[in-house]
C-alpha cells in the first residue's frame, strides 16, 4: 500500500472498537476466512465514508435511478398520447358513420276498448295480461233493454209493410176505376158525335135537348176520367209513402239489432289485455275506456335532433339496444321519418311569431322497424314504453 492509503489491518477485530467498520472478504479456496478492518480515521477525506447517520454513499444503481424514471415517464406519456390519438380516430370514424340517440322508446298499436251503448256489465270473460285473438268475446252487457227496442222496431216494420200492401191495393183499384171511366168517356164521346151528326145533318132527326144531353154526358165522362186518374196518382203517392215508411222501419230495426250487438265487447285485433277497468255489475257509458289491447308487433320510435337528419334516409340499417335486455343488440332498419317535428303535434304547438322567440333544436320522430330474426325470445317480452338507444348507420 502507498502513503495515501496507509491503514492498519486487524484480523477479526470487534466492530465497536475505535469507531471502525468491517468489510467481509470472502476467502479464496484453501484460505482462512478473515475480516479486514480499516482505520477510516487515517484515510484521506476524499476516501472516507459518510457517517452512519447520513446513510451510505449512492451506489451505481442509485445514480441510474433518475434516468430510468425519466425513461418510464416518457414511455408512459407516449403510450397515453397514442391512446388519445387512437381514441380520437375511433371517435371520428364512429361519428362519421353512425348517428345515435337515447331519446327512443318501444312503440306498438294499443287499442282502447270502449262500449258503444250504455248498460250494465253482465259478464267479464278475460283477465289482465291475457292473450286474445281478433273477434274474441271480452265482456257482455245486459241486453234486455235493447231487446225490447228491437221488438218495437220489428213491429214498426210489420206495420209499414201492411200499409204498403194497402197502398198497392188502392193503386190497383184506382187503375180499374180509370179503365172504367175511360170506357165511359169513350162511349160518351161517340154518342155526342152521333147526336151532333143527327142534329145537324138530317133536318132535325133529334131535338136540341137530346143533342145537349149527349154533349153533357160526354163532358161528365171526361171529368169522371180525370177524377179517376187523380185518384190513381194519389194511390201511387200513398204507396210511395208506404215504401218510405217501410225503409224507415227497416232502418230502425237494423239500428236496434246493431245496438243489441254492441252489448258484446269483442277484441278488435290479436294481442294481450292490459289496463282492465271492468267488473261485473259496473254501469258503463258509451266511449268509456274499459280495456286496452296491445298488439304483439312492436317497433321503436326514436326522436332525432334536426341537426342529425342531413344524412338519414329510409332503408338505412339500425342497431337498437333496449335497457330491459342488457348486452343484447337488435338489428333493424329506418322505416320512415315523421312529416313534422314532435312539437307540432303537441296539444299547444309553439308559435314562433311571438316576440319572445328562442331558437331550440327540434326533434323529429323516426320509425325503426326491428328484424324478427334478431328479436328471437325477446319478441313477447318487448313492451311499449321501454327505453332504447338507437344507432343509424349513415355512412360506409
Answer whether residue 290 is part of any domain.
no
* Surface-to-core class of residue 188, CB atoms within 10 Å of its CB (0-12 exposed, 13-18 middle, 19+ buried): buried
> Which CATH number do you get for residue 74?
2.40.30.170
14: containing domain = 3-50
Domain count, the chain: 4
Same-domain check for residues 326 and 386: yes
Answer whether residue 289 is part of any domain.
no
State whether residue 138 is helix, strand or coil.
strand
Answer whether residue 274 is part of any domain.
yes
Same-domain check for residues 92 and 27: no
- What's the Rg (C-alpha) of the chain? 57
Calpha distance 77→36 (Å, rounded): 49
Same-domain check for residues 315 and 332: yes
Calpha distance 297→204 (Å, rounded): 106
Q: Please state the pTM of the whole predicted model.
A: 0.64
Answer whether residue 394 is part of any domain.
yes
Same-domain check for residues 104 and 130: no
Calpha distance 249→152 (Å, rounded): 10
Answer whether residue 134 is part of any domain.
yes
Same-domain check for residues 94 and 124: no
Same-domain check for residues 126 and 157: no
pLDDT of residue 305: 94
Same-domain check for residues 160 and 100: no
pLDDT of residue 185: 77
pLDDT of residue 85: 86
Answer whether residue 291 is part of any domain.
no
Answer whether residue 125 is part of any domain.
yes
> Which CATH number do you get for residue 123?
2.40.50.100
Calpha distance 140→122 (Å, rounded): 6
pLDDT in tens, the chain (396 residues): 433 333 334 333 343 344 444 444 444 544 444 444 444 445 455 445 545 444 444 455 555 557 778 888 888 888 888 889 888 877 777 767 889 999 999 999 999 999 999 999 999 999 999 999 999 999 999 999 999 999 999 999 999 988 888 888 888 888 887 777 787 778 777 777 777 777 676 556 667 777 677 778 777 877 877 777 888 888 888 888 888 888 999 999 999 999 999 999 999 999 999 999 999 999 999 999 999 999 999 999 999 999 999 999 999 999 999 999 998 999 999 999 999 999 998 888 888 887 778 888 999 999 999 999 998 888 889 999 999 999 999 876
Same-domain check for residues 135 and 267: yes
Same-domain check for residues 148 and 207: yes
Same-domain check for residues 185 and 250: yes
Calpha distance 103→364 (Å, rounded): 11
pLDDT of residue 203: 57
Closest CA to 104 of 303, 268, 377: 303
Round to the nearest angstrom and report the end-to-end CA distance of the chain. Answer: 83
Same-domain check for residues 278 and 134: yes
Answer whether residue 310 is part of any domain.
yes
Same-domain check for residues 365 and 381: yes
pLDDT of residue 330: 95
| Crossing angle of helices 208-261 and 144-201, rounded to 10° | 170
Amino acid at each position: 500500500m502507498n502513503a495515501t492509503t496507509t491503514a492498519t489491518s486487524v484480523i477479526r477485530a470487534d466492530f465497536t472498537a475505535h469507531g471502525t467498520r468491517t468489510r467481509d472478504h470472502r476467502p479464496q479456496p484453501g484460505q482462512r476466512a478473515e475480516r479486514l478492518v480499516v482505520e477510516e480515521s487515517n484515510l484521506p477525506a476524499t476516501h472516507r465514508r459518510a457517517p452512519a447517520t447520513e446513510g451510505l454513499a449512492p451506489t451505481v444503481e442509485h445514480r441510474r435511478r433518475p434516468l430510468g424514471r425519466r425513461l418510464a415517464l416518457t414511455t408512459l406519456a407516449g403510450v397515453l398520447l397514442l391512446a388519445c390519438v387512437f381514441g380520437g380516430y375511433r371517435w371520428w370514424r364512429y361519428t362519421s358513420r353512425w348517428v345515435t340517440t337515447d331519446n327512443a322508446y318501444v312503440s306498438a298499436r294499443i287499442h282502447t276498448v270502449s262500449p258503444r251503448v250504455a248498460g250494465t256489465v253482465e259478464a267479464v270473460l278475460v283477465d289482465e295480461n291475457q292473450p286474445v285473438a281478433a273477434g274474441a268475446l271480452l265482456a257482455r252487457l245486459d241486453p234486455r233493454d235493447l231487446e225490447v227496442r228491437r221488438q218495437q222496431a220489428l213491429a214498426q216494420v210489420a206495420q209499414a209493410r201492411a200499409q204498403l200492401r194497402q197502398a198497392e191495393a188502392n193503386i190497383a183499384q184506382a187503375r180499374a176505376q180509370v179503365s172504367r171511366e175511360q170506357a165511359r168517356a169513350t162511349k160518351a164521346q161517340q154518342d155526342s158525335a152521333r147526336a151532333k151528326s143527327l142534329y145537324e145533318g138530317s133536318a132535325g132527326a133529334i131535338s136540341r135537348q137530346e143533342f145537349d144531353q149527349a154533349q153533357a154526358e160526354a163532358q161528365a165522362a171526361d171529368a169522371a176520367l180525370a177524377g179517376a186518374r187523380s185518384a190513381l196518382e194519389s194511390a201511387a203517392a200513398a204507396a210511395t209513402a208506404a215504401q218510405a215508411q217501410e225503409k224507415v222501419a227497416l232502418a230502425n230495426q237494423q239500428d236496434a239489432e246493431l245496438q243489441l250487438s254492441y252489448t258484446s265487447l269483442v277484441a278488435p285485433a290479436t294481442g294481450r289485455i292490459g289496463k282492465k277497468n271492468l267488473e261485473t255489475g259496473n254501469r258503463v257509458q258509451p266511449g268509456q275506456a274499459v280495456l286496452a289491447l296491445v298488439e304483439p308487433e312492436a317497433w321503436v320510435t326514436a326522436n332525432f335532433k334536426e341537426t342529425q337528419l342531413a344524412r338519414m334516409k329510409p332503408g338505412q340499417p339500425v342497431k337498437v339496444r333496449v335497457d330491459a335486455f342488457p348486452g343484447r343488440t337488435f338489428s333493424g332498419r329506418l322505416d320512415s321519418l315523421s312529416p313534422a317535428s314532435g312539437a307540432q303535434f303537441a296539444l299547444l304547438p309553439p308559435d314562433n311569431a311571438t316576440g319572445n322567440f328562442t331558437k331550440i333544436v327540434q326533434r323529429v320522430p323516426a320509425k325503426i322497424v326491428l328484424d324478427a330474426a334478431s328479436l328471437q325470445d325477446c319478441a313477447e317480452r318487448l313492451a311499449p314504453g321501454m327505453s332504447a338507444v338507437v344507432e343509424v348507420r349513415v355512412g360506409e
